[in-house]
Amino acid sequence: MLKSELLESHNVFKYDEKIEKAVKEIEKLLKSSYNISKRSIALLLLQEDEEITALVKSRETSFPEISDIIKKTKMLFSEPLYYVITMQRQKKVDEIVSQVVRTRNNSKKLISNWLDKITVQPVTGIPILLMVLYFGLYKFVGEFGAGTLVDFIEGSIFENYISPWVNSAVKTYIPNEAIQELLAMDYGIITLGLRYAVAIILPIVGTFFLMFSIIEDSGYLPRLALLVDRVFKSIGLNGRAVIPMTLGFGCDTMATLVSRTLETPRERVIATLLLALAIPCSAQLGVILGMLSGMPAALAIWASFVALVFIFVGYLAAQVLPGEKPVFYMEIPPLRLPRIGNIIEKTVSRMQWYFLEIVPIFILASVLIWIGRMTGIFDAIIRLAEPVMMALGLPPETAEAFLFGFFRRDYGAAGLYDLKKTGVLNGVQMTVASVTLTLFVPCIAQFSVMLKERGVKTTLAIVAFVFPFAFLAGYMVNLILKTAGVVW
């Protein structure tokens, strides 16, 4: 059989006479060949599918006649044809299903139904969410990952063994001081770039991805979406946006990509903006949790301020951007016991993906910083940034961390972490710096995905908003804390 014949020989069931008559008439008028059956093209035309209509219009001289048939058929029904056709097809499906599917009652259903309920209802759902956040994020990622593990790898292994060894080896074997600085010392590829990547970021991201995979596979996220649907509506998004937003806590770059699952362009822009502004990625989050975990009050201020910004900016954006309000509809998959194999595979593959992404960038950043230092550009930029830092009440060294933040969010956070350890920052300064850095520009990878997904104009507008906003917010936090007379 020829391919075109094959296409036309698949007539499974018939719609009602009026529709079938229109389909037959349209089929006859379709002269050019399509990759799908003419029956299907005719049905899509009747349902006013934009793409197919445009395609047929460009190919068929008889399009006005087709248009007439569609118009006439529409008059025969009180509902839109899309609805009529879908309902007729669904009726057929129900007929088939009633013949092949049988359901016995089962007691296991009850337990999962109960679990289902308590995760979705606000009274029980919010405490469950808080528990997930406290144990999953704060305890496991913040304290264990960013605390215990980082202390061990960075404090014990790097500080005591690797860094001194590399520094002395470089000093002994490489006479050129500039090259020494490129490889080792304060800003070297090995002692800064690789140390940040392996000792600070890796354990944090690893623990985060592990926890995230478990939560993700259990089916909890769609239930969370139901729970927060109402809050999200007020910022112009619907519950569905929970997925890109929660993914953002893993990696904003990935999340910006996933924001295309949102239905309207308006929602996509709002989601992209919020991801760029107020959602810290896992590494950044982990470092900040680790850094502020000694001071619960500072952590609380940071978290509530960022949450406030999230809701405030989202609300504003929803007011400013025109477009229809979203409707919420989502498949809710069953709660499942996560499979260990899948969890491990996913965590490892994400870490691998992440690591392959960050190591070259961290090395590149080290090289750029080295070039900047050798040529004096680095110092010049930091001197330029100093007044800004002063305005935020921060020591001039913090400018370095922000400069790092340009390359990657987490690189900047790791820079702050370093400053905290050396005792340069006090509590108030750390809070201000964390807030500013969280809101500050998206990293290079996220930026490029924004360009690809949302286009140049939107991206530049978002960046132009985020950049001054971050510093203004930091300034305000500093002002508030100062006026309140907070001393940490």
Partner 1 sequence: MKCCHDGRKENIFSKFFKRIQDANSLQSYAKRKLVLVGTPNVGKSVIFNKLTGAYATVSNYPGTTVEVFRGTSRIGGELFEVIDTPGMYSLMPITEEERVTRTLLLNESPDIVLHVVDAKNIERMLSMTLQLKEAGFPIILVVNMMDEAERIGREIDLEKLSALIDVPVVGTSAALNRGMDRLRKKVAEYVKKRAA
Cα 154 from chain centre:
28
- Torsion, Cα of 234, 238, 243, 247 (10° steps): -30
Residues in CB range of 389: below 8 A, 6 or more apart: 395, 396, 398, 399
Closest CA to 14 of 39, 38, 37: 39
Q: Name residues contacting partner 1, limited to 67-126 (CB under 8 A).
A: 82, 86, 89-90, 92-94, 96-97, 99-106, 108-109
Taking the complex as a whole, the smallest distance from the CB of residue 215 to partner 1 amounts, in Å, to 9
Taking the complex as a whole, the smallest distance from the CB of residue 319 to partner 1 amounts, in Å, to 24
Structure tokens at 34: 């399509």
**Residue 458 contacts partner 1 per CB under 8 A:** no
Nearer to partner 1, 7 or 120 (CB): 7
Nearer to partner 1, 219 or 474 (CB): 219
- Torsion, Cα of 39, 43, 45, 46 (10° steps): 140
Taking the complex as a whole, the smallest distance from the CB of residue 240 to partner 1 amounts, in Å, to 8
Q: Name residues contacting partner 1, limited to 173-232 (CB under 8 A).
A: 213, 216-219, 221-222
Single residue of 22, 30, 194, 254 touching partner 1 by CB under 8 A: 254
Mark the segment that binds partner 1 (CB under 8 A) among 8-16, 64-72, 152-160, 167-175: 8-16
Structure tokens at 429: 């300064």
Taking the complex as a whole, the smallest distance from the CB of residue 136 to partner 1 amounts, in Å, to 16
Q: How many CB atoms lie within 10 A of CB 332?
A: 12
Taking the complex as a whole, the smallest distance from the CB of residue 433 to partner 1 amounts, in Å, to 28
User: DSSP secondary structure string, 160-228?
Assistant: IIIHHHHHHHHHHH---HHHHHHHSTTT-IIIIIIHIIIIIIHHHHHHHHHHHHHHHHHTHHHHHHHHH
Single residue of 22, 185, 192, 262 touching partner 1 by CB under 8 A: 262
Single residue of 243, 413, 419, 450 touching partner 1 by CB under 8 A: 243
SS3 371: helix
Evaluate whether 462 touches 435 at the Cβ level (below 8 Å): no
Nearer to partner 1, 192 or 258 (CB): 258
Return d(Cα 409, Cα 447) in angstroms, integer. Answer: 11
Q: Name residues contacting partner 1, limited to 356-375 (CB under 8 A).
A: 356-357
Residues making up the chain, counted from first to last: 488
SS3 342: helix
Nearer to partner 1, 58 or 103 (CB): 103
Return d(Cα 232, Cα 147) in angstroms, integer. Answer: 33
Binding to partner 1 by CB under 8 A, coded x per residue (else -) over 119-158, reads ----------------------------------------
Return d(Cα 473, Cα 306) in angstroms, integer. Answer: 9
Single residue of 345, 377, 482, 488 touching partner 1 by CB under 8 A: 345
Taking the complex as a whole, the smallest distance from the CB of residue 216 to partner 1 amounts, in Å, to 5
Q: Name residues contacting partner 1, limited to 433-452 (CB under 8 A).
A: 445, 448-449, 452
Single residue of 64, 333, 387, 455 touching partner 1 by CB under 8 A: 333
Size of the site for partner 1 (CB under 8 A): 71
Single residue of 26, 43, 278, 392 touching partner 1 by CB under 8 A: 43
Work out the end-to-end distance of the chain between its first and last CA atoms, rounded to an integer number of angstroms: 81
Single residue of 120, 129, 132, 257 touching partner 1 by CB under 8 A: 257
Q: How many CB atoms lie within 10 A of CB 285?
A: 25
Single residue of 9, 61, 78, 483 touching partner 1 by CB under 8 A: 9
